[in-house]
Structure 1
Amino acid sequence: MKSLDSMLSDLLSDKKTVSRQLFLRRAGQGLALSGIAGGLAACQISLGQGKTDGVKPTSPPAKNTDPSKPEQPIELEAWKAETEQAAGPTPSPQPEEQRVGYAIVGLGHLSLDEILPALAQCKKSKVTALVSGNREKALKVAKQYGVPEKNIYNYQTYDQLKDNPEVQAIYIVLPNGLHAEYTIRGAKAGKHILCEKPMANTPEECRQMIEACKQANRKLMIAYRIQYEPYHAMIRDSIRQKKFGKVKFIEATNAQYTANPSHWRHVKALAGGGSLPDIGLYCLNTIRYALGEEPTEVMGYQYSTPGDPLFKEVEENVTWQMRFPSGVLANCATAYAAHENRTYKVLAEKGWMSMQPAFAYKGLSMKQSHAEGPVEYNEEPKVAEKNQFALEMDHFSDCIQQDKKPFTPGEEGLQDHIIMEAIYQSAQEGKPVKLQKYDKLDTFRGTEPKRG
């Protein structure tokens, strides 16, 4: 039987990369597991470096104490063929103490179903506090996510967040009509604000939110998760690079069937409107994001089924067209009483790109088509799915840590509200409504989010 030193010498002289698993397997052929553990504990081993000088002590990697510097991913041996889809870098989250602490305000469906679970996939963000009007529910959620009881607040004690250094940012996940109040109070408490879309109920409320954060020197970002999603970034890149020539026409639809007339979405004071600001906003904002342009004219139509209790205060269906400076025309539709449908299609000179579903939380899918001579190529690009909420939260955390303007700041949310107000006006008056022209691309956006 070979000695441990003899086995190490044989392995280290091998010119091929030797994995940790291979070493353990070979060593296990001649040594008891306890003997291997003892040998490994006594020395640090350098394997697969093409070296033949035996055991080489190594120092542990230096700890990254600067949150502005990314953690270096752990390098693992390659195992896939070059013909296979490459995996992304190994996740390299920041140490717990360096991540930005969030207070999640509102424990409804979105927080419990999507946002809190997404924090497990975040690299720079963590939950440190909860705000809810239901203490029993908050206590249960706090135990599930490791939030100490002292960091549970209600809407009356919300302003006391100013005294909690564990909270650097607030994520507002409340009905739309409450966004302005809690953004302004949160900024006055000295916290950065990530606010769910739509930004508020009116453009004036949006302006008040922007001003409050400006006065408090705090960052404000609107949670447009689609603008951080890989497939949508791919379509945006193809449009900007004119991969299929100049874009001519875009179609987008977002529909779902709601069923509870007492839900806040059907109360105008809380929702601001019906299908348009809730789900139609995805069509509007995604097209603006992809093109980088702002529409110069809109034409809208609106309809609600007479007598339907769901639509006593808010609208059911809205369709609208947008004209952009480059000549692109967009046709959009949103509905609150139709079977779920979330589609998006970009038609260009030499090809098209489409997504179905396009605006869901997960399971997004993309197709594209173009012709080369007599051959028509139909493709289904595949990219690794990433949690959209984790991506947006980590972008905001990165902006806080490095003092950068978020990609989707308050001004981006305000512009959507200005356009939606024009759509409502057009539907009421029965004629197109002109909008201010902007010559610069991405007029309202901040720092591009990191990819990968």
Structure 2
Amino acid sequence: MNSRRDFLQKITASAIALTILPRYSMAMPEQPYDGPVLRVAIMGLGSYGSRVAEAMQSCKKAKLVGVISGTPSKIKDWQSKYSIPEKNCYNYETFDKIKDNPDIDAVYVITPNALHHPHVIRAAQAGKHVICEKPMALNAKEGQEMINACKKANVKLLVGYRMHFEPHTLEIIRMRKAGEFGKILFFQGLCGFKIGDPNQWRLNKQLAGGGSLMDIGIYALNGSRYMIGEDPIWVTAQETKTDHNLFKPGVDETIQFQMGFPGGAVASCLSTYNMNNLDRFFLNGEKGFAELQPSTGYGPIKGRTNKGELNQPIVVHQTLQMEEMSAIILQGKQPVVPVDGEEALKDLKVIDAIYEAVKSGNKITLKLAE
């Protein structure tokens, strides 16, 4: 199955092979760790679930100990590959029994978008912390219900915002907070690729909840917020559809959206399933600028500012994410940029507003704090 993840993997594979091992080892040197370890069961053993599992083999603070899948052959393969005991293996009908398994602390939900809502709520009701892939849900209503369920169960809800831990991204955020760019004026986020397999779930409205915006455009939306350092107060949006056979009603091909922020900055973003070579963030201020290109791919991320090239460590995003999420869940660590359910809910509110703006042609006022 072709997908955004397959596409990003192909365009960066050669660069990763050349750079990731030596530079990653410098970023996270080998040293003894005797602190708490987050024991994780992955739900959804597709391409991205496999990527997370592989990345977790390098983790010290998190360990893959369980699987949840509807495909028995995948469960067997993962059992063998990752030495997962039979008692930690579940299917979608039986996984509520995970509540009786003290050897699993958290469930990482990596299923199609429409399944996030029921899967997260069931995991929470089983008393397990939850990590959910983005978008957290199909809309803000579902997202709030997921937050409520986790609060009621007294478990944490985190979302797979891997870029919130990426070193080049965090350096730009540090510089912006330090005033090195001056007053922020403008952000541009370009996210897209030409989608492949027409039968994949990402082109199914019932499973995906939309199209490119839900899958790849959320990077530009979320990126505008952490790059500018504010939440938007209005949004406008326009949709372009050139292939009505591939992109059925409710599945967006290309959406351009614009946002305004309290400090006066504006953002212009593009999300598409019909153009390649789009993975760029640009931030402009009165005193300087910052650019990331690639900005959200699996690596290596490359960046520059008005002061020159950024040379932060190249990391495996999913390894670093799981290390940091373990520290958040087990040690109460506060990340530079939040990765909790409330953070994801804000993105869902904006996504709802973007779709509303596309349909109405109106500027939609946003109140993300409510």
- Give your verdict on TM over 0.5: yes
Instruction: Kindly provide the CA deviation profile for residues 21-62 of structure 1, in whole angstroms up to 9, marking residues without a partner as x.
Output: xxxxxxxxxxxxxxxxxxxxxxxxxxxxxxxxxxxxxxxxxx
Alpha-carbon separation, structure 1, partners of 2:191 and 2:258: 14
Residues 118 and 390 in structure 1, CA contact (< 8 A), matched pair in contact too? yes
The whole-number CA distance in structure 2 between the counterparts of 1:167 and 1:427 is: 43
Does 2:191 align with 1:262?
Answer: no
Q: Deviation per CA, 1:209-261, whole angstroms, max 9, x where unpaired? A: 00110110000001111111111101111111111222111111000111222
Instruction: State the SS of the aligned residue for 1:121.
Output: coil
Residues 1:261 and 1:153: Cα distance change in structure 2 (over 3 Å): same
Q: Secondary structure at the match of 2:193?
A: strand
| Correspondence 1:419 to 2:358 | no
Check if 1:181 corresponds to 2:110: no
Question: In structure 1, what is the equivalent of residue 16 of structure 2?
Answer: none
Q: 1:437 to 1:175 in 2, by over 3 A?
A: closer
Any idea what SS the aligned residue of 1:185 has? helix
- Measured against aligned partners, the alpha-carbon deviations of 1:98-153 in whole angstroms (never above 9, x if no partner) come to 411100000001011x2011102212000110111111121112211111223211
* Worse-superposed segment, 386-395 or 307-316: 307-316
Q: For the Cα contact (< 8 Å) 2:346–2:368, is it kept in 1?
A: no
Residue 130 of structure 2: aligned partner: 193
Matching residue within 156, 162, 170 for 2:107: 170
**Residue aligned with 2:217, SS:** helix
1:88: how far off? 4.6
- Give the aligned residue type for 2:48: L
CA contact (8 A) 2:193 2:273 kept: yes
Residue of structure 2 in register with 1:218 after alignment = 155
How far residue 388 of structure 1 moved from its aligned partner, in angstroms, is: 1.4
Q: Is the 8 A contact 1:259 1:310 kept in 2?
A: no
Q: Which has the larger radius of gyration?
A: 1
Q: Spell out the pairing of 1:17-96 with structure 2 (5 A cutoff).
A: 87-88=26-27, 90-92=29-31, 94-95=33-34
Residue 100 of structure 1: aligned partner: 38
TM-score by length of 1: 0.73
Could you tell me which runs of 5 or more consecutive residues in structure 1 were left unpaired when the two chains were aligned.
1-85, 371-378, 444-452
With structure 2 as the length reference, what TM-score do the two structures score? 0.89
Question: Contact 2:184–2:284 at 8 Å: present in 1 too?
Answer: yes
1:402 is displaced (CA, Å) by 2.1
- What letter corresponds to residue 141 of structure 1 in structure 2? W
CA contact (8 A) 2:66 2:84 kept: yes
Equivalent of residue 350 in structure 1, options 276, 284, 287: 287
Stretch moving more, 388-397 or 168-177: 388-397
Deviations 1:330-364 (A, max 9, x none): 10001001114200011111221101110101111
Give 2:365's aligned residue. Answer: 434
| Residue of structure 1 equivalent to 2:268 | 331
Question: Aligned equivalents of 2:159 and 2:97: distance in 1?
Answer: 23
Distance of 2:286 and 2:244 partners within structure 1? 45
For residue 307 of structure 1, report the CA deviation from its aligned partner.
Answer: 3.1
Q: 1:248, 1:327 within 8 Å by CA — same for their partners in 2? A: yes
Q: How far apart are the structure 1 equivalents of 2:202 and 2:29?
A: 40
The 8 Å contact of residues 139 and 152 in structure 1, kept in 2 or not, is answered as no
Higher-RCO chain (CA-CA 8 Å, sequence separation at least 6): 2
How far 1:93 sits from its partner (Å)? 5.4
Partner of 1:373: none
Q: CA RMSD in A?
A: 1.9
CA contact (8 A) 1:102 1:128 kept: yes
Q: What is the letter of the counterpart of residue 176 of structure 1?
A: N
Q: Distance in 1 between matches of 2:315 and 2:223?
A: 18
* Alpha-carbon distance in 1 for matches of 2:171, 2:333: 24
Is residue 320 from structure 1 mapped to residue 257 from structure 2 by the alignment? yes
Q: Does 1:253 align with 2:187?
A: no
Aligned length: 344
Give ranges in structure 2 of 5+ residues lacking alignment: 1-24
Whether the aligned pair in 1 keeps the contact of 2:139 and 2:351 (CA below 8 Å) is no
1:394 to 303, 323, 327: 323
The answer to whether 1:380 aligns with 2:309 is yes
- After TM superposition, the structure 1 stretch with the greater mean CA deviation from structure 2, 246-255 or 389-398, is 389-398
CA deviation after TM superposition for structure 1 residue 292, in Å: 2.5
